[in-house]
Structure 1
Amino acid sequence: MNEKFSAASEVRSDNDTVASSSASYDFDVIHPTSAENGITSSEHKASTDERRSISRASGDLRRTASNVLAQVSSRITTKSWPEPPPPPDGGLKAWTQVGAAFFVLFATWGYANSFGAYQAYYSETLSETPSTISWIGGIQIFLSLTVGIVSGRLLDAGFFVPVFFVGIVVQVLGIFLMSISTQYWQLFLTQGVLSGLGAGIYFTPAVSLVNTYFDKRRGLAVGLATTGNSAGGIVYPIIVRELIPKLGFPWTTRVIGFLNLGLLAISFAFMRPRLPPRKSGPVIELGAFKDPKYAGFLASCFFIYWANYYTFYYIASYGTQALNLPYASASTLVVIINGVGFPFRILVPMVADRIGNLNVIAPLSVIWTIVSFTWLAVHDIPGYYAFTVVYGIVAASFQCLFPSTVARITPRLDTIGTRLGMAFSVSAVASLTGPPIGGAIQTASGGGFLAPQIWAAVVTLLASVLFVALRIHMGGFTLRYKC
């Protein structure tokens, strides 16, 4: 009877990882088998205590493993996160973030989108093909967008200030090192890799930050910030065009470096996060791609940016090679295509806030397709200036809606850094490969522009079909449905 009770206590101890039940009863029992083998009761008790000790360790290990799994589970799910506070949708601090973000986009995309001026200059000074040269600008934009996968998540985690500071240092360092670069590989590493990496570190957190301060006026706020894109797209090409003949390439580049340093320092002084840190959650939210709205929007944007950056990079080269424009006049085209969209970056978001972003983007993409095909009919200088103006307006109208649209289809504002970083990364692949593909098509077709023009127009057509399909999926054929 005593033997059975002791055995039952030990079994319960092994299963429940609690040794107290068997420890409370200490029987000196000599099992027949033990006695036959010459094992004393004290030896048997020592063996029993050892088994109990192992049982306790096993139970502790199971509890520890269970706690670790629970912590991991909490980091890959969002169900336990508290809802973030609602945005103020205005106020001095909120609009200060918009003003600071203006300087960020000025120094980032105004500078990057002016690469068309560099493309034309490098074509005359470097013994490289147009496709090879365009990889410099392509990698710069690619890194400016893809690094946002990590830096955007760091914003959500509460590390905006140190991340922003590091990004400024890296981008400005790349520009100053670019000033002493004389060969293609040096320019690729400094202007392309280093400057793009720095911009990618601070850009996505800055744009995401603006979105967290607004709701009903989010489109207007982001649109105002993106006017920095157009303003910078005017200033940087003029600096390149006017100063290189006077100061030379090294000091022209240093002027740009000091300009960026000053503008980004102002932004760093005023931009501060609003939401509490979200420490848990994945860096890449793969589940977002299961959302048809999010996945459909990114697929459409991929094709639209694939063609867009080919046009932006080769707008000046087409002028010099196909229309025999001098370099100064061709550089003016870069200023125009970046600058004409300035007022539309304000007006279009105001309309989108009232009727819905996709209700603007879908018809806008159809217009963009028509404009892209008109490039095939341009054979004189006045027509080319007209094409440049209209294309710049349409492109700016779309670009200013990209961040706010991603925010609209993001369920929680404290994941906007992660979602926007992922969205920018998808567009980055298109931005990286589009210009070199267009340049390769141009080289393969004997140096003419007709084949890449057709390619860019057809890709834009595909994007517009996807945008219209997404709008129908979200709102059906009801025109008044806001989406």
Structure 2
Amino acid sequence: MNKPQQDSIGGVSGASTIDNSQQKSADASISEKAVNRRRWWHRIWHVPLDDEHQPPPPPPPDGGIVAWTQVAMGHLVVFNTWGFVNSFGVFQPYYTGALRQSRPNISWIGSVQIFLLFGVGAFSGRALDAGRFRPVTLAGYIMHVLGIFLTSVSTQYWHVLLTQGFLVGIGNGLLFCPTISLVGTYFSYRKSFAMGVAAAGSTTGSLIYPVVIQKLLPVVGFGWTVRILGFITLFTSSLAFSLLKPRLPPRPSGPMVDWAAFKEPAYVLYCVGAFLNFLGLYFAFYYIGAYARDVIDLTYQESINLIFIINGVGYVGRILPAIIADKYIGALNAIIPCAFGSGALLFGWVGVHDEGGQIAFAVFYGLFASGVQSMFAIALSSLTKDLGKIGTRNGLCFTIVSISTLIGPPTAGVLIGQDDGKYSHAQAYCGSTMVAGSLVLVAARLCVTGPHLFARA
């Protein structure tokens, strides 16, 4: 009687063992499928899996087809972001008349764009370090292009503020910081030059966008002019998105804000100096045309030509300091004279009362100010030795600087209004902030090199 029971029990036990084995096999199959799906998803976005044990990345290639392709695509991204932002001086006189708003109110549209371009950097920069470069920048491309097309159908001031100011601004912020930081990870010795070439996309955009606006606005009207800008942006954005590729493995853990950076005196002083510089930097870009018409009595076309000049010399102003920084003095040493020179020129602008002087100011200020724009991110990157944190730390400083770009041009506009349309108070205010910022950058440089006059930094 007991033996059959034992056989029965043994049979049940054997069946249970088989069932467990089959269940484990099924679980393993499901798990493998999930991992394969996860791997497929990560391959699409060029993101290594967190559980993939990868060797340390090789040193930056400092050249080659892939590296220079990133520079070219970075140029296109800056073309679409900063090029579009720097073209706001062409939009401003049209908006002042069409929207029936004061210049300080109109300048808020451009200031919000720059504020968000920098301000979103804390998030988008961390996304690069975390291995989320492609999904975040894809969202940026969509918002940027959508904002331009929605601007084309805007008829009220608040429409333009929401579309060109906020929507385009957020899209720019999701694009600029991670892209310019990504370019820096491909270079070491040639980093300043490579990032300078990418930053020169701002000059390309500052020339192409205003020409398109100037030529098409009287012919096809505002709506189709802006739509054509949108199609240009859509094409260049698609090309950049398809070819930009992160080089470093992700750093998924870590805070959104690297609070340890504030324990480094050089980093803190650099952020303060950059904040002061950007308070005054964009005043001339926004108001050089208005100054030419109001003070020197130039025609609208002549004032637009000044915008072309101040933006066009940016090729030299962005690339030459980068070459000098790479070969001789370092990025931090290169940005200081650019900032001080920009501030001094703003003081000198007070004495300009004829067309020749205005052209000379546009040339020299364009050279020095574009040097500040280009070297800002390059010098900031030089303060970060751990490339795995470059996006986070760059984004943090970008967010700090965003506040100054938001309040700088509107404050200058208020000063003009309080001075009965005269520009001298605004010019002195912006010149003072830039000179003060350059002196703080000197302090940051001393924290890096010590009291050594000719040290590279």
Q: Sort the TM-score into its range (normalised by shorter chain).
A: 0.7 to 0.9
Cα contact 2:270–2:441 (8 A) shared by 1? yes
Quick check: 1:96 aligned with 2:80?
Answer: no
Corresponding residue for residue 225 of structure 2:
252
5 Å-filtered alignment, 1:291-330, equals: 291-330=264-303
The structural deviation recorded for 1:368 is 2.1
Matched position secondary structure for 1:400: helix
What is the distance in 2 between the residues matched to 1:166 and 1:321? 41
Offset from partner CA, 1:92-148 (integer Å, 9 cap, x none):
111110000010000110110111111122122222111111000000111111111
Tell me which of 154, 157, 176 is aligned to 2:130: 157
Cross-structure match for 2:339: 365
Contact 1:241/1:328 (CA < 8 Å) preserved in 2?
no
Counterpart residue number, 2:23: none
Would you say the 8 A contact 1:151–1:201 is kept in 2? Answer: yes
Q: 2:383 aligns with which of 404, 409, 415?
A: 409
How much does 1:84 deviate? Answer: 5.0
CA-to-aligned-CA distance 1:58-103 (integer Å, 9 cap, x gap) = xxxxxxxxxxxxxxxxxxxxxxx99654211111111110000010
C-alpha separation between the residues in 2 aligned to 1:237 and 1:444? 30
Task: Find 1:337's aligned residue among 310, 317, 332.
Answer: 310
Aligned equivalent of 1:397: 371
SS in 2 for 1:342: helix
Instruction: Give 1:414's aligned amino acid.
Output: G
Match of 1:283, SS? coil
1:421 is aligned to 2:395: yes
1:248-287 per-position Cα deviation (integer Å, ceiling 9, x unaligned): 1101100100001111111011001010011100011122
Paired residue secondary structure (1:329): helix
Query: How far apart, CA to CA, are the structure 1 residues paired with 2:220 and 2:346?
Result: 37
Residue in 2 that maps onto 1:432: 406
Select 1:219's aligned residue among 192, 200, 222.
192
What corresponds to 1:174 in structure 2? 147
Deviation of 1:344 (Å): 3.1
Which runs of structure 2 are paired with 1:125-164 in the superposition (5 Å)? Answer: 125-164=98-137
Unpaired segments of 5 or more residues in structure 2?
1-53
How far apart, CA to CA, are the structure 2 residues paired with 1:258 and 1:320? 32
Aligned to 1:235: 208
Give distance in 2, aligned partners of 1:366 and 1:111. Answer: 26
Q: CA RMSD in A?
A: 1.5
Match status 1:209 vs 2:185:
no
1:351 aligns with 2:324: yes
Partner of 2:431: 457
TM-score by length of 1: 0.81
Given that 2:192 and 2:323 are in contact with CA atoms closer than 8 Å, whether structure 1 keeps it comes out as yes
C-alpha distance in 2, partners of 1:310/1:378?
Answer: 16
1:283 and 1:418 in contact (8 A); partners too: yes
Q: CA deviation at 1:327?
A: 2.0
Structure 1 distance, partners of 2:318, 2:282, is 18
Q: Mark the CA change 1:191 to 1:152 in structure 2 (over 3 Å): closer, same or farther.
A: same
Contact residue 71 and residue 198 of structure 2 kept, 8 A? yes
Q: Scaled by the length of structure 2, what TM-score is found?
A: 0.86
Distance (Å, rounded) in 1 between the aligned partners of 2:144 and 2:339: 33
Judge conservation of contact 1:304–1:463 (CA < 8 Å) in 2. yes
What are the within-5 Å matches in structure 2 for residues 438-449 of structure 1?
Answer: 438-449=412-423
Farther off after superposition, 447-456 or 276-285: 447-456
Shift of 1:367: 2.0
Alignment match, 1:468: 442
One-letter identity of the residue aligned with 2:456 = K
Find the counterpart in structure 1 of residue 166 from structure 2. Answer: 193
Q: Is the 8 A contact 1:119 1:317 kept in 2?
A: no
Matching residue of 1:376:
350
Deviation by residue 1:286-341 (Cα, 9 ceiling, x = unmatched):
22122111111111111111101122111111112222222222122111111112
| 1:443 match: secondary structure | helix
Paired with 1:151 and 1:477, the residues of 2 have a C-alpha distance of 36
Question: Bigger shift: 360-369 or 189-198?
Answer: 360-369
Does the 8 Å contact 1:214/1:221 carry over to 2?
Answer: yes
Report how many aligned residue pairs link the two structures: 403
2:89 is paired with a residue of what secondary structure? helix
Partner of 2:6: none
Equivalent pair of 1:320/1:326 in contact (CA under 8 Å): yes
Equivalent AA in structure 1 for residue 174 of structure 2: I
Q: Deviations over 1:169-208 (max 9, x none)?
A: 1110000000000110000000000011111112111111
Structure 1 Cα separation of the partners of residues 266 and 55 of structure 2: 24
| Unaligned runs of at least 5 residues, structure 1 | 1-80
Distance 1:83 1:468 in 2: 35
CA distance in 2, matches of 1:382, 1:257: 36
Which deviates further from its counterpart, 182-191 or 422-431?
422-431
Which deviates further from its counterpart, 253-262 or 81-90?
81-90
How far has the Cα of 1:231 moved from its partner? Answer: 1.0
**Matched-pair identity in %:** 43
2:267 and 2:444 in contact (8 A); partners too: no
When Rg is computed on C-alpha atoms for both structures, the one with the higher figure is 1
- In structure 2, the partner of 1:274 is 247
